[in-house]
Amino acid sequence: METTLIILKPDAVQRGLMGRIISRFEDKGLQVVGAKLMRITPELAAEHYQSHQGKPFYDGLVQFMTSSPVLVLALRGLGSISVCRKMMGATFGQDAEPGTIRGDFGLSRSFNLIHGSDSPEAAAKELSLFFGANEVLDFERAQAGWIYDMTGGSAE
């Protein structure tokens, strides 16, 4: 099982899309193991987007991400990082396929609704930036056996 960070960005929060987006992840079978509605500080945005510092879009990105609350999620499931990224769709809504989050809800080339970790290393780092100790929970779900084939003793 893998845990990934998802951020529903200010445009998703302001447009009232949080529930619809979370439902997609839960419908897929992913488990919400952490959730926090928060306002990202400029310092946290700078740390999170450190790899983009110096790029032409950096200042606008930080301004956007700090402009309104975001919903930060920790999602767990088998292959959750790649599953979430496929569900998110291409970076820009205009390019994203219908059926993806960005494809169904986005048109902008700068407001793209959602962030998801792109690797296990990024997920570990990002989760530690946004969640403190004991804020990402471990708990059994009764439906796990109906989401995954557990006949071999582990999720498949």
Non-local CB neighbours of 149 within 8 Å, separated by 6+ positions:
155, 156
Active site residues: 115
Question: Measured between alpha carbons, how far is 6 from 36 in angstroms, rounded to an integer?
Answer: 11
Integer angstrom CA distances of residue 56 from 30, 49, 62: 35, 13, 12
> Environment class of residue 32 by beta-carbon count within 10 Å: exposed (0-12), middle (13-18) or buried (19+)?
middle
State the sign of the Cα–Cα–Cα–Cα dihedral 72, 4, 141, 30: positive
The 114-116 sheet, strands edge to edge:
31-38, 70-77, 2-8, 114-116
Q: What angle do CA 45, 16, 85 make, to 5 degrees?
A: 55
